[in-house]
Chains A and B, each alone.
Chain A
Amino acid sequence: MSLTETVQQARRRDLRIPLAAVLVVIALAAPYIGSRYVTHSLIIALIFMLPAHGLNLLVGYTGLLSLAQAAFFGIGAYTAGLLAVTYGTPFYVNLIAAGVVSGAIALPLGIPALRLRSTSFVMCTLGFVIIGQAISKNWVSLTRGDMGLSGIPKPYFELGPLSFSVSGTTNFYYLALAIGALATFAAWAIVRSPAGRNMVAIRENETLAESLGVPTWHYKLIVFMLSAVFAGIGGCLYAYYLTVVSPLTFQMYYSTTMLIIVLGGGAGMISGTVFGSLLFVGLTEALRITPELRMIAYGFCLLVLVFWFKKGFAPLINRFWNVIGGVK
Chain B
Amino acid sequence: MLSTVLEQVVNGIVTGSVYAIVAVGMTMIFGVLRAINFAHGEYYMLGTFGAWFAVDYLGLSYEASIVVGILATIVVAYVVGQLVMRRMVGAPAESGVLATLGIALILQNAVIFVFGGGYKFFSGGYIEPISILGFSLAQQRILILVVCLVVFVGLELMVTYSRLGMAMRAVSQNVECCEVVGIDVPQVVLRTFILGAALAALSGVLTAPVNVSVYGGMGELITFKTLPIIIMGGLGNVRGTFFAAMILGIAESLVATYVGLQFRDTVGFATLILVLMWRPYGLFSTQARF
A binding-site residues for B, Cβ under 8 Å: 59, 65, 112-113, 115-120, 122-124, 126-127, 130-131, 134, 137-138, 256, 259-260, 263, 267, 292-296, 298-303, 305-307, 310
Contact = CB atoms under 8 A, between A and B. Distances in A.
Contacts of A120: 231, 276, 280-282, 290
B155 interface: no
A131 B108 CA distance: 25
A134 B260 CA distance: 12
Which secondary structure dominates where chain B touches chain A? helix
Which secondary structure dominates where chain A touches chain B? helix
Interface in B257-284: 262-263, 265-266, 268-270, 272-273, 276-277, 280-282
Interface in B235-259: 235
A256 B101 contact: yes
Q: Which of A59, A138, A307 has the most CB of B within 10 A?
A: A307
Contacts, number: 117
Contacts of A134: 262-263, 265-266
A260 B30 CA distance: 21
Contact of A126 (B84, B227, B235): B227
B149 interface: no
Q: Which of B101, B224, B268, B272 has the most CB of A within 10 A?
A: B101
A65 B93 contact: yes
A122 B102 contact: no
Contacts of B262: 134, 137-138
Q: Which of A59, A298, A303 has the most CB of B within 10 A?
A: A303
B94 A298 contact: no
Contacts of A137: 262
Contacts of A126: 227, 269
Given A118-B290, A119-B36, A127-B228, A65 B273 contact: no
A299 B98 contact: no
Contacts of B102: 298-303, 306
B64 interface: no
B98 A127 contact: no
Interface in B57-109: 84, 87, 91, 93-95, 97-99, 101-106, 108-109
B110 interface: yes
B273 A119 contact: no
A281 to B, nearest CB: 17
Given A65-B93, A130-B265, 20 more contacts: A113-B273, A117-B280, A117-B288, A119-B36, A120-B281, A123-B227, A123-B228, A124-B273, A127-B269, A134-B265, A256-B97, A259-B97, A293-B109, A296-B110, A299-B102, A302-B98, A302-B102, A303-B99, A306-B102, A307-B99
Contact of A119 (B108, B113, B235): B235
Nearest to B91: A306
Interface in B99-144: 99, 101-106, 108-110, 113
Given A131-B266, A295-B105, A306 B272 contact: no
Nearest to A252: B224
B263 A124 contact: no
